[in-house]
Structure 1
Amino acid sequence: MQDYEKLGVFYLGKVVDAQSGQPTDELLLYDSRDLTTHAVIIGMTGSGKTGLGLDLIEEAAMDGIPVLAVDPKGDLGNLLLTFPDLAPSDFRPWIDESEAQRENVSPDDLAAQKAEQWRQGLTDWGQSGERIRSLREKVDFAIYTPGGSAGLPISVLKGFDAPPPEVMDDPDALREQVGGTVSGLLGLLGIGADPLKSREHILLSNLLVTAWQQGQSLDMAGLIHGIQKPPFAQIGVMNVDSFFPEKDRFELAMTLNNLLASPGFQAWTRGEPLDVGHFLFTPAGKPRVSIMSIAHLGDAERQFFVSLLLNATLGWMRTQSGTSSLRALLYMDEVAGYFPPNGNPPTKPPMLTLLKQARAFGLGITLATQNPVDLDYKGLSNTGTWMIGRLQTENDKARILEALQGAMAGQNPLTTEQLDRLLSGLGKRVFLLHNVHENAPVLFTTRWTMSYLAGPITGSGIKRLMTGRPTESGGQTAESRSAPMPSATGLQPSATTRPMIPPGITEVFLPTRAADVQYHPQLLAVAQVHYSSVKQRVDVNGTLPLAVEVTDGPIPVNWEDAVEVPVNPAALERQGAEGATFASIPSALLNAKNYPKWAKEAAKFVAASKPLTLWQDPSSGVLSTPGETEGDFRARASLAGREARDARVEALRARYAPKLQTLQERLQKAQIKVGQQQAQAQQAQLQTAMNVGVGILGALFGGGRKTSATSTVRSGVSGMGRAMREGQDVQAAMAEADNVHQQLVALQVQVQQEIDALTPGAELERVDIKAKSADVSVPLVALAWFPFTKDESGKLTPAWEGAQ
């Protein structure tokens, strides 16, 4: 079987012969970069649309491309049903008991049948459990349930965070994000609002813009307060009270407050923030497939969440650099109602903007639907790939034909009648693929999915899949999530009053917002470090706060145990929280003479053991920047690797293009010559047969002179010689064509081998840049009070800002 496991190539199935309707041996390999011009999948229930969508996402994951998927029905949760061992016990929890009853078998027997069915199906398509294992290793899979508790929660109503500067500096982008956010929120309240006419929409929009322009985020409480007492006196040229009377504003505030007070509201305030970058990559930089399951929500809630998600995606997109390679995939299943040809739901404007602009940032959009009337065809004019399966009605087919003719303008080699016949004859799992990057449409049948197709995954199934998975905090940096924290173990018992500190010792407090805290002492050394490397083109200054426990033993401080503290030295306070208790202080910390010595030790430790760690991707040569986490750099390097690979592939193809074109032209001429020689040979054979036949008939039956018949026979014999020579010419022409074809195949194999050799896969290289002793100073060495809170069991939990 042809090798399909190549970066940048999606294995979607096999080409189908249009005449016979049967699959051929030719694999359908789709260039991942083609998805940057977006795709649409259309097919009725039973067409295989879901399987094709899962194939597409699986292939993206195999290529290390992160996916953000919106799942209105629950089908995409099947992506987590991947069983490398293909054991019946893996399938058993997902067996439909009613199906087992219909099949008159036990659930265990049906699980064994499903396991064998999947094993055989994968084998038939050149796949195995090892490929499934590789899929699970390459990406992180997660199911989110906004407004619900079955999967990972998302906090979307806790507040409306100010967008990044790239959005704030773009009036059109800011208007789109404000409009989408407000339209979704009002839709959640059951208020249909025209952005240009609705006073509710205009007031809320102005409140958001005012807060965001001041660099502030706005929570629900602040929004309610702003409705009652707006921070501006006018809206346009009118007084606020004239535009929107206070009494009416109070009713709107009460409506929002009722939402805030409703029991179901809390589900919208817990969990990870709406951070698209976090959905696409883990803190360690591993690509993610994040599935937004919204089947449990009502229509207004779905519109609200999807509009927020799409606007957040727009904001994230605008912070990225431009690229022609596929950076990430946004997949939306069952898009009906979110991008309609008529009407303007809050999801439509951001989706239209994404289809128009996302290509420049390497973000591919794929939309899937059952019915072509669900889609805005003006928006789909920005879609480069169409995958069309079986359709329900003749009207659906007519709409698709009309849309395809527009999409294929200037490049379609098929007539409308030919397209009609192709669409009419589509079978299950067979799709018509139109790709603007290819010369002609092609039929293909989808490959077997690696994921087990158990049907829609309900809330109980999602809970089973996500049970035991910790919720990651998106509100902290990767460093603060992974850095070890100073502990309170082994410290002295708590005292009730703040200890007296001798003169000459600097005393600081880490900031906290908690109440009833206990403070525990640590030695805090804040180092100022200058890192420089001509080779790596690095010249930066950094601040390194280190905390270490102090004991009363023979070696009070062991700097090897020091940990970096995620705190801004400028935020350190001189006074602690009111009513706090304090732990006793080791005597060494109360000796002012120790601090200058500890400062020197800290400086030596930093110079010897705290280098500036950067990361370099060998395949692309990209180097991380100071302050960039390894996870963030891995995400950036994966794109840089694809960009470098794509550029080298293009260069290779350009280098070999003249040779390939020459051979293709020679092959075409040789094939034409074969046809001509065959025609001449057939003509010669026919003429010879006629001459010989006439001569023999004349000799047998007379009707002419004997010499005339003999001459005709001789002429026929001579013609036989010519026919033989013509046959030899045919063989020679065929041999020449075959020779040229072999040369062309050999050259294509050579090109592909050179492309395969470009595949990146090297691990990141760690680059440590040490600071010189003269470039390290410790301006602050202090007794630092770290706040902790205590639960009923007596367990202490860090309570300073930035702690986890």
Structure 2
Amino acid sequence: MSGELWLGTSENKPFFYKSKNLTTHALIIGMTGSGKTGLGITLLEEICLKNIPSFVIDPKGDMGNLCLALKNTDEFLTYTNDKSRAENLANSLRLGLNDDLERVSEFKNSVDFTIYTPKSSSGVGVALLGDFVPPQNLDDEAMINYVNSLTSSILSLLSINADDASKEHILISKILSNAFEEGKTLSLSELILAINEPPFSQIGIFDIEKFYPANERFKLSVRLNLLIASANFKAYTNGERLNIKNMLFNGTKAKCNIFSIAHLNDNERMFFVTFLLNEILAWIRTTSGTDELKAVLYMDEIFGYFSPNANPPSKTPMLTLLKQARAFGLGCVLSTQNPVDLDYKGLSNIGTWFIGRLITAQDKERVISGLNGDKTELFSQISNLEKRQFLIKNIHDDALKILNTRYALSYLKGPLTADEIKNLMSQKRQNFSHKDEQNQRPLISNEIKQLFASDKNELNAYFLGTARVRFYDTKLNIDTNLDLSFLGEACENFSWDNASKNPELNFTQMPQNATFMPLPSEILRLKNTKNLQSDLRDFIYQNEGLYLYASPRLNSNPGESKQEFLARLSLNDSSKEQEALEQKFKAQKARLEDKLASARQRLVKEQNDAKTSTIDAVVNIGASLIGAFFGKKSVSKIATSVKSTNRLLKERNDVKLSEAGVDEILAQIDDLEREFELKLAEIKSKNLQINQIKIAPKKSDIFIQDVVLVWM
């Protein structure tokens, strides 16, 4: 029936549990051998058959049995290596299912099964240490709880048992909070750097140095950095990132995500469980409210993760899920051998209890204290439970019921070996390893600063080197600083010779869902960029210089283009040689103009004298002719007339000479002006002739500012 999970029989009738009831969560309690694991797997089988996504935390390694939907002897033989036993298992399955083996096939094809093995290559990898991505849609209280829990899990990985009032916890949580408030994704390398050099100067009213001195912060950053430096660090980062939204469905088929963590040590298990719970908690905040079951979180063997007498990092997110997840359709199912493993606040938020066989009277009494009914009868009922029998207390039902669990569709083999997981997940591992190689952000030394200069998803790495160079020359009166930058692809045998100069870059935050191209091993092994900085200094010394344009009278300014310099020369074309030429020209022209004025004065006088002489000569000749006609003193008058005529001729000749003198001076002025223009043009042409000169830097004047890795 839709929405009902067939778990077995009660009072010889099929027992169906409403999937909707799981939103108020469930608890399975039972000693070893009680059938607790079988009930958990049966419950998850029904969840799978209803196409509901599930997240299964498996500290012991038993829950991978969900992937063993076997039907015939040959399939069982793969896991038993005993044909007789394989035949018995196949027969038992057929009898247990009343020959309804199609239900096994239906279950096998119902969901997409994946076994994740953090820090192991047997299953699909999960990155234990990656980037810390800011959660979305969390209110202030939820964000504080998320950050505190995440901080505790990080410290637990370092075997630091620090509460939220410790210096270590306060510092790391503030670094994470600051980054998340800015919407910034924080890598482990960036976290290490931020511990050493916090992006804030105060914590509360205290200066950071007074609250947490630099030498102590350095010790903490070194402990975290040891994870990066350790030989097995890559195992912490290999695998798929925990993206809960992507783990719900494969197309229309629900996913069953089994996280096998038996191979991890205690600190690693605590870190991973806390991290996963936080991610699930952050995911439900992005979903809409519902009263239907949308997904299930199942945790086998809760011991140590939800302790009533301690405060492990996993406790806060687990308690928050029990309190709030029901509103978003997430059902939590916890399994434990002992009720004292659970915090009482958590027990009050669990609606269904599946109680199996218990050993001690203390365990039975603790369970009975939470049940309604006659205490003596309840004690007797619990004491008489058989294997695979469970007393059910459901807040949605008035009466207590006894459940006999059905035959599991999965082969309950027990913990899977690494090889068995590897065989089961071989195809998924191959597919993922290719994806992982392309997508994972390479982990490099925290001493190498990383920046982003692109909003594209596919990113390549480049080295960006920046420097300030002083150029000094006393003869040219030059003393200036230039800022230079060089960008080169971070490839094998990297060299600044192939770098571009002064690139224009716009730095951004790391793009969401970015994919990173692999880095050469020699770059992955770099501890810092000191050698690259030294190479950059040598490169600048050998190849760079301050290039100027020089003319006989001026030099260009640093950064001034040739066109700008020529324009400035044209506007400021005066020179000493030109000034001397102009002064000499003015003096020579002045002298010639004085001579011209004098010559013109003589010419005017000569012209006036000639004019007067002409009139006198005409009068005298006329008088002589009249006198001769009348016979009076003719000879004397004619002689006088001749003299006047001779004088006139002389004065006219003087006029011509004076005119010639004026013309000659005017010609001399013209020649002087032409000569001046030619010489002036020659000087200007010479002044506009420019050459390029280079001022080389001294090595001591090259100041390398930084070499960083830029993803773009």
Asked if TM exceeds 0.5, the reply is: yes
> Is 1:431 aligned with 2:384?
no
Aligned to 1:11: 6
For residue 154 of structure 1, give the secondary structure of its aligned residue in structure 2: coil
Offset from partner CA, 1:685-705 (integer Å, 9 cap, x none):
xxxxxxxxxxxxxxxxxxxxx
Alignment of 1:355-754 (within 5 A): 355-405=322-372, 414-470=373-429, 513-514=459-460
Which amino acid counterpart does residue 436 of structure 1 have in structure 2?
A: I
Which amino acid counterpart does residue 428 of structure 1 have in structure 2?
A: K
Is the CA contact 2:119–2:126 (under 8 Å) kept in the aligned structure 1?
yes
Is the CA contact 1:273–1:475 (under 8 Å) kept in the aligned structure 2?
no
**Cα separation, partners in 2 of 1:179 and 1:788, compared to 1, 3 Å:** closer
Aligned to 1:41: 28
Aligned to 1:245: 213
What's the Cα RMSD here?
3.1
For residue 193 of structure 1, give the secondary structure of its aligned residue in structure 2: coil
Give distance in 2, aligned partners of 1:463 and 1:72.
18
For residue 432 of structure 1, give the secondary structure of its aligned residue in structure 2: strand
Aligned to 2:194: 226
For residue 159 of structure 1, give the secondary structure of its aligned residue in structure 2: coil
Which amino acid counterpart does residue 183 of structure 1 have in structure 2?
A: S
Give distance in 2, aligned partners of 1:312 and 1:461.
28
| Structure 1 residue 394, shift from structure 2 partner | 1.4
Tell me how many residue pairs correspond in the alignment: 464
Higher-Rg structure is 2
Q: In structure 2, which of residues 290, 296, 300 is the aligned counterpart of residue 323 of structure 1?
A: 290
Give distance in 2, aligned partners of 1:422 and 1:342.
29
Is the CA contact 2:73–2:87 (under 8 Å) kept in the aligned structure 1?
yes
Is the CA contact 1:272–1:474 (under 8 Å) kept in the aligned structure 2?
no
> Is 1:351 aligned with 2:318?
yes
Q: Which runs of 5+ in 2 are unaligned?
A: 440-454, 463-486, 492-515, 521-710
Give distance in 1, aligned partners of 2:255 and 2:371.
33
For residue 138 of structure 1, give the secondary structure of its aligned residue in structure 2: coil
Aligned to 1:640: none
> Is 1:134 aligned with 2:80?
no
> Is 1:289 aligned with 2:289?
no
Is the CA contact 1:271–1:471 (under 8 Å) kept in the aligned structure 2?
no
Which amino acid counterpart does residue 427 of structure 2 have in structure 1?
A: G
Which amino acid counterpart does residue 74 of structure 2 have in structure 1?
A: S
> Is 1:64 aligned with 2:10?
no
| Structure 1 residue 458, shift from structure 2 partner | 2.4
> Is 1:148 aligned with 2:149?
no
For residue 371 of structure 2, give the secondary structure of its aligned residue in structure 1: helix
Give distance in 2, aligned partners of 1:440 and 1:296.
42
Give distance in 2, aligned partners of 1:332 and 1:441.
24
Give distance in 2, aligned partners of 1:325 and 1:510.
39
Aligned to 2:155: 186
Is the CA contact 1:156–1:274 (under 8 Å) kept in the aligned structure 2?
no
| Structure 1 residue 415, shift from structure 2 partner | 1.8
Aligned to 2:610: none
> Is 1:52 aligned with 2:39?
yes
Offset from partner CA, 1:746-771 (integer Å, 9 cap, x none):
xxxxxxxxxxxxxxxxxxxxxxxxxx
Aligned to 1:113: 88
**Cα separation, partners in 2 of 1:474 and 1:110, compared to 1, 3 Å:** closer
For residue 308 of structure 2, give the secondary structure of its aligned residue in structure 1: coil
Give distance in 1, aligned partners of 2:30 and 2:457.
57
**Cα separation, partners in 2 of 1:579 and 1:110, compared to 1, 3 Å:** closer
For residue 163 of structure 1, give the secondary structure of its aligned residue in structure 2: coil
Give distance in 1, aligned partners of 2:268 and 2:404.
36
Q: Which runs of 5+ in 1 are unaligned?
A: 1-5, 17-23, 98-106, 406-413, 482-508, 517-575, 581-786, 792-800
Which amino acid counterpart does residue 249 of structure 2 have in structure 1?
A: F
| Structure 1 residue 276, shift from structure 2 partner | 1.4
Offset from partner CA, 1:379-418 (integer Å, 9 cap, x none):
111111000010011111111111224xxxxxxxx32222
Give distance in 1, aligned partners of 2:16 and 2:412.
23
| Structure 1 residue 510, shift from structure 2 partner | 8.1
Q: In structure 2, which of residues 141, 151, 154 is the aligned counterpart of residue 172 of structure 1?
A: 141
Is the CA contact 2:461–2:517 (under 8 Å) kept in the aligned structure 1?
no
Which amino acid counterpart does residue 70 of structure 1 have in structure 2?
A: I
| Structure 1 residue 474, shift from structure 2 partner | 12
For residue 109 of structure 2, give the secondary structure of its aligned residue in structure 1: helix
> Is 1:200 aligned with 2:159?
no
Give distance in 2, aligned partners of 1:400 and 1:13.
23
Give distance in 1, aligned partners of 2:310 and 2:63.
27
| Structure 1 residue 270, shift from structure 2 partner | 1.3
Aligned to 1:274: 242
Give distance in 2, aligned partners of 1:38 and 1:358.
9
Aligned to 2:613: none
> Is 1:88 aligned with 2:73?
yes
| Structure 1 residue 56, shift from structure 2 partner | 0.4
| Structure 1 residue 376, shift from structure 2 partner | 1.2
| Structure 1 residue 285, shift from structure 2 partner | 3.9
Which amino acid counterpart does residue 423 of structure 2 have in structure 1?
A: R
Which amino acid counterpart does residue 400 of structure 2 have in structure 1?
A: P
**Cα separation, partners in 2 of 1:160 and 1:474, compared to 1, 3 Å:** farther
Give distance in 2, aligned partners of 1:211 and 1:89.
55
Offset from partner CA, 1:1-37 (integer Å, 9 cap, x none):
xxxxx22000000013xxxxxxx1x111001000000
Is the CA contact 2:5–2:43 (under 8 Å) kept in the aligned structure 1?
yes
Which amino acid counterpart does residue 12 of structure 1 have in structure 2?
A: L
